[in-house]
Amino acid sequence: MDGFVRCYLDCYLKNIPRNSLHDRRRRQDVVDYISVLIQGLSEVEIDEDGSAVEAIKTIIKYHDEQKDNNGKVCIMGKYHNILYVAIKLCYVWQIKDAETIGLLLKEIYKCETTFERILIGAIFGNKAPHYIAGWKSDFDSEEENLRAVVYFLDKANKSKLEFNLNSGNQMTTFRFIDLPILSCGKASALKVCVQLGLPDKLLIFLRFGAQVYTQNEDITVLEHVMNRLLEFNHVYPYNLVSCLQLLLRAIDCIRIDNDHYSDKILLVGIYERYADLIEDGILPPQRCSLIPPELKHLCRCVVRDILWKNYQLPDGIRMLNLPKKLWRYLDLLED
């Protein structure tokens, strides 16, 4: 497989302009050609996943070699966009090898320091990436974009990926799901979902362990949605209320005033600032530390935190010896 893919890339990339693979259709043509190679070899070797993994590894290696030939700096253009051919191949062939997918994601991050080309289509829809960032998604619909993101979130967890990013003059470690999206003002995928009022997508990111409190944002996701709700003068939009309720499932209590970097909980100012939301029943008092949180909820937070630290959200929940109803509760599907 290595020889076939390498020969094809050498012959094909040599004869096309530098920006050719910027075109989604050109990338799809390469995906289709390599898929035929995978199909052909898998019929001989009776191992589709093995052939597909070899093809992905060859593409990663080829990109790395081109970078080495350019003083270890990515040439970008067609020699970088072949990585997105590999991304589509991973999804099309549903490769199970998390380690190989982890290598591919790391290679993309080295060049871009973001995964917006994987995330934006799932959040905004299939046509949005063209208007936001000037490129078209490699997936055919918003639903397929979302399924692809779930696929890569799962593999990023299984390969225990972490990425270092220089944030606010200090090096910060992020997981795949929490990395800032550069085209969206460096907001996390979680925050973008809240800004757009998308509770269904917000739930997906929360289930995979997206952090409500991150270190690269001046205002927390919770503060953002609560401030937005105050603007509606007691007539609250359902989608924003749903976003707030989902966020409250994932935290033990509300923390404000940039105090989320430590374990100390700042209580002063919550009632004064969000009195209307508390009095209208939008903010439950047990999440504001006005009364103690429910023991069941605190247990959920502790269990989820342990699973998160072990890269086992959400799949690890189903491995716990608990009733199925508690599985759903731990997975934030019920409250």
| Dist. CA 99–CA 44, nearest whole Å | 25
Handedness of CA 169, 102, 64, 134 (dihedral sign): negative
For the stretch 183-221, pLDDT in tens is 888 899 999 999 999 999 999 999 999 999 876 667 889
| Dist. CA 54–CA 57, nearest whole Å | 5
| Dist. CA 92–CA 75, nearest whole Å | 26
The neighbour count for residue 272, using CB atoms within 10 Å, is 7
Q: 94 and 151 in contact (C-beta within 8 Å)?
A: yes
Q: 329 and 335 in contact (C-beta within 8 Å)?
A: yes
**In which band, very low, low, confident or very high, does the pLDDT at 73 lie, cut at 50, 70 and 90?**
very high
Q: 304 and 313 in contact (C-beta within 8 Å)?
A: yes
Q: 151 and 145 in contact (C-beta within 8 Å)?
A: no
| Dist. CA 38–CA 35, nearest whole Å | 5
pTM confidence score: 0.91
Tally the residues of the chain: 335
What residues does 170 pair with on adjacent strands?
A: 167
For the stretch 124-145, pLDDT in tens is 887 777 677 678 889 989 899 9
